[in-house]
Every structure is written in structure tokens, then in C-alpha cells.
Amino acid sequence: MKPIKNDKTFRPDRVLSYFRVEWLPLAFVTLSGLVYNIGLLATPWFEGRLAQCLADILGGSETAANMALLVLAYILVTLLVQAARFIKRFYVRRFANNINRRMKGILYANLVRQSKAALEQQGAGELMTKAISDVDDCVEGMRKFTTEIFDTGVALVGYVVMLLVYDWRLALLSLLFTPFSYVCAAWMKKPVQRAGAAYKKAAGALSAATLDRAQNAVTYRIYGCEDARVEKYEDALNTYEKTAVRNNVWQSALPPLYLAASNAGVLFILWFGAKNVLGTGWSAWDIAAFTTFLSCFTKLVVKSSKVAKLFNAVQKAEVSWKRIKPLMKQPEPLEALHVPAAQDVTLENLSFAYGGEPIFSGLSLTARPGDIIGVTGPVACGKSTFGRVFLCEALYEGSAKFGGREFSALTARQIAATVGYLGHDPELSADTVQNNVLCGSAQDAMPWLAAAALDGEMQAMENGADTVIGPSGTRLSGGQAQRLALARTLAHPRPVLVLDDPFSALDRSTEDIVFADLQAYAKDKVVFLISHRLYHFPQMQQIIYMDGGRTTVGTHDELMDAVPMYRQLYESQTVKKGGDLDEEPCEA
């Protein structure tokens, strides 16, 4: 999407703003649309003249040459009108494509800047529907509106004027039923919107269910719950099918009814028009006038039916616009990342609760550049939650400072420049090894792959650093994916690093190499290393032990003396039954 430069008046949450910025295509649409739709009035006129000429030829008052000239003029006018139509449709499509690209660019820019928790809360299926279907429906409504202003609005006005010129009394009488179709379309607005909203909701639920089945297929198969998941998926599919049918009925079945209602005026034209031809009506007509009037009315009715379709499209677009409008805001330009110098990290009575349920509390310590702080404890004790505190995705209580500033007082961009984070999920992209490490930065990936003990394995791959690893690193083992994510984290140094269980899929010898590299790397950084593997905890400056919402801080020796559960956990990993140190490699 091309940014709108120096235009502070553009409002992404205002539909009219999109029309304003696309003024040039709309100018071509306007000019060509006027030529096309005014030119359409020539069709019923020529049809009437041709019918009259044919009657005159049969009566002997006209010749075939006159008919040929009339036909030639009709063809030339038709070619001109169709050329104008081509230009109009081309620029309408360009207008729609530009709007689609702009809207999706704004929507995607705002989606990717949301926190992971917010994205997960909305649901992947819902976001997919918003990002693709809703924008497409909005743009389609805008395109139809732009098209029908000319193809319906201008043409209708022209046809009405033409009918009034030929016989204003008969014109008013035959047009009585046309407004009735508009009233019906307006009356059906709410049912159409409700059906559209239900369809969108069902489509989002089906997308989420499809994604769930694809991501967790192995788990469902292993635990024998495939049938239950299939049944749940079928329910989502049936709901989607029912709402889709209902929505299509409202969208497709109503326009023919509107068309039939509008066509009722033909009965008046046949009766009173025949009287005009016979000389006993309100006006004196010949066959050309009757044919022109009937043709003009028929085309007017067909055009008026497009109004009903336009109402349906606009109503569908309104539903989609309401869904995406909260995300349609101009994203602020990203300021350059200014990585600050290393400073102390001070935690004072740090606490965190989720939904009113306390996760941990009373955590206080000071970590200086060069410190590696170990974080451990039993399963589900809050270790990962503690690591995410530094990302400020949710409010914490107490104090967490980088130097003299609270982490919560930093902007999202400042946090990105201060905190490097490696979570449980490596979150690798379907790209090359090198691109996964560098993420667009201009540097050599090899030193960082070496720091994560992955350089040798990478060089053994078929294309080396240019090997494509597949979505989420599917071509890599668990340990390789974890080390690749670690290499990426190291390649973008930050003064504070949070590493959540980076060694869980590594064997003992590889873990020793990576930890030694990490110690050298972290001499001017504060590192919080969250892990349930404690081989290297004796080498760490401080350790946080978490259990049952309580936290204990100290050195390895202090915790060995003061916390029996920590001693038990450490000895279970490092001491054999015979009392010797356990040097066997861990399971990969």
C-alpha cells in the first residue's frame, strides 16, 4: 500500500476519505459514465425509428437505403457508447483495486501491531474473515455504488425525462409501481443485514475450526478424539451452510420480485399506449413513439431493479464495515529502533495476576549488565508469565525498571528496542535459514548460527544458509528450530534478554556449548533464562524460584540451603543414585 503523504485529512475510518483520495479514477468514471448513460437513451429512440421505418417501407413510403443509413448510424452510436462503457468499467475496477489494496494495507498494519494476547483473543478464524472477506465486501459495495450512480442513477433520470416528454400522464401512471420496489428493498434492509451478519459469524467460526483441525490433527489422532472433533467441525460446517443459504436467498431472491413489481406498469402502457396510436388517448402517437416509450420503460424497469441489488450490496458492505471499522485507523509510522545502553534491571515487589487470580507476587531483585538470572520452578508456577511481564502485554503491579524508567512507561517501540524475547514457540517463517536469522538486517548470519551451535548442521543442508525450512520450521527438528530462533534473538542484541526454556530440546553437550556462548554474549546484557533444566544454574549470578505464587531469590548455594524443593529438583537432574555427577546426555 502506498502511504498517503502530507494528507492529514485522510481518515481510514471514514468511507468518504477513500473516495476522496481516488479522485482521478473517479473523474474518468464520471466523464465516461455520463457519455455512456446519456448515450443509452439513443437505443430506444433508434428502436422506435427502425420500427417506424420498417412500417413505412411496407407501406411504400420509405426505401431500404434509408433503413441502411439508420442502421449504420445506430451502429456508430452504439460503438461510441460501448467505448465509453469500457473506459468507465476500467476505471471503476482500478478505483476498487486501489481501495482494496489501501484498506487491506491499513488493516494488516493494525493487526500486526496488536499484542499476541489480543490476536489470540479475537481468534484466527475471525481475523482471517476480517482481513479478507470483510474488506472485499466493503470494496464491492463501494464499487457497486460508484457504478450504479451512472448505470442506474443517471440512466433512470434520462429514461424518466424521455417518458415524460412522450406522454407525461402515462409516464406517471406506469411509474407508480417502481417506487414500491424501492420501499420493499428499504423495508428488507434489516433482514438482509441480519442474514449477512450471521453468515459472517459462521464463516469466521468455520475458519477457526478448519485451522484447529489442521494444527492439532496429530494430537486428535493420538488421543482418539478425532470423531468428536469431526462432529464439532460438522456442526460448524452445517451452521455455515445454513447461514450461507439464508444469506444467498435474501441476496438473490428479492431482486426478481422487485423487477416483477416494477414491470406491472407495462399493463398501463399496452392499454393507454394503444389508445394513443389509435388517436383516442392523451397524445397522438405513431408506431415509433409507442415502440420508443415501451422500450424506454422496459429499460427503466431493468435499471431500477439494479437499485435493489445496490441496496443489498450496500447493506452487506455496512455489516462488514462495522466489523473492521475499529481496526481502520491510520497506523503511526514506526520510528527507528534506538537500542539503549545496558542498565540495571530493578524489580521491587513485582506481582502479576490474571483475571483476578494471582500468578506470583513479592518479587524483588536487582540485575546488573552481565548477570544471567535463572528462573525455575514446578510446572505452571508462572515462569513464562514472568518472562512476558517485560513485554508489558498486560499490567503488572509493583515495579519493574530499566535504569530509572518503568517498563510499563515505555512505548511499544521502546520495549522492542530494549527487550529481546524468545518464547516457547520458535515462530519461524517459511523462508530460508538466513532470512529467519537476519529478519531483513544487513549482516552475516554465520556468527549467530555458530553461537547457537547450528552452523555445522546448517552447512550440511542442501542449500546451506539459503535452505528453505518450511512453515514454522517443519523441516527442522525441535532442537534445530529452537536454536535457529535463539540465533535470531542473538542476532538482534538488546540490553535485556528473556529466554524461555531455550534448552528444552537440546542434548547435554549441545546445551553446554550454547550456554558458554551465551555467557560470552551476555557480558553487557541482563539475561533472564527461564528453564526447568538446572545444569548451569550454579554459574548464574542470581536465581528466582517460583512455586505457588511465592518467589524466592538468591544464589544457587543459598537456594540449595533454603529451598528443599529446589535442592530436590537440582539433585534429581545432576546426581546419580550412587552419588556421582550425572554426565549422561539428556533426551533430545
| Residue type for position 489 | T
Q: State pLDDT tens for residues 279-323.
A: 888 888 888 888 888 888 888 877 776 666 666 677 778 888 888
Residue pair 420/526 in contact by the 8 Å Cβ criterion = no
Q: What pLDDT, on a 0 to 100 scale, did the predictor assign at position 11? A: 86
Residue-wise DSSP of 509-570: HHHHHHHHHHHHHGGGSEEEEE-S--TTGGGSSEEEEEETTEEEEE-HHHHHHH-HHHHHHH
Q: Report residue 115's pLDDT band, with 50, 70 and 90 as the boundaries.
A: low
Average pLDDT over residues 100-122: 77
Q: What pLDDT, on a 0 to 100 scale, did the predictor assign at position 3? A: 45
Average pLDDT over residues 168-176: 84
Q: What pLDDT, on a 0 to 100 scale, did the predictor assign at position 181? A: 65
Q: What pLDDT, on a 0 to 100 scale, did the predictor assign at position 307? A: 66
Average pLDDT over residues 402-417: 91
Name which of 122-131, 238-247, 546-555 the model is least confident about.
122-131
- What is the rounded distance in angstroms from the CA atom of residue 557 to the CA atom of residue 534? 13
For the chain, the C-alpha Rg in angstroms (whole number) is 36
Residue 401 confidence (pLDDT) above 90: yes
Q: State pLDDT tens for residues 327-361.
A: 888 877 777 889 999 999 999 999 998 877 889 99
Strands 345-354 and 397-402: antiparallel
Q: What pLDDT, on a 0 to 100 scale, did the predictor assign at position 581? A: 44
Within a 10 A sphere around the Cβ of 507, how many other Cβ atoms? 14
Fill in the DSSP letter of residue 468.
B
Residue pair 460/491 in contact by the 8 Å Cβ criterion = no
3-class SS letters over 411-458: CHHHHHHHEEEECCCCCCCCCEHHHHHHCCCCCCCHHHHHHCCCHHHH
Fill in the DSSP letter of residue 341.
P
Q: What pLDDT, on a 0 to 100 scale, did the predictor assign at position 4? A: 46
Strands 405-406 and 397-402: antiparallel
Q: What are phi and psi of 2, to 5 degrees?
A: -80, 125
Residue 521 confidence (pLDDT) above 80: yes
Q: What are phi and psi of 580, to 5 degrees?
A: -80, 155
Q: What pLDDT, on a 0 to 100 scale, did the predictor assign at position 555? A: 95
- Counts of helices then strands in the chain (DSSP H, E): 25, 10
DSSP H or E stretch at residue 314: helix 287-324
Residue 65 confidence (pLDDT) above 50: yes
Q: State pLDDT tens for residues 368-387.
A: 999 999 999 998 888 989 99
Q: Which three cell numbers stand for residue 377?
A: 520452578
CA 200 to chain centre: 14
Which is higher by pLDDT, 571 or 180? Answer: 571
CA distance to 102, 161, 205, 246, per residue, from 344 (Å): 44, 81, 47, 62
Residue pair 432/475 in contact by the 8 Å Cβ criterion = no
- Burial of 308 (C-beta count, 10 Å sphere; 0-12/13-18/19+): buried
Residue pair 266/298 in contact by the 8 Å Cβ criterion = yes
Average pLDDT over residues 127-142: 80
Question: In terms of Cα–Cα distance, which of 117, 77, 73, 89 is closest to 28?
Answer: 89
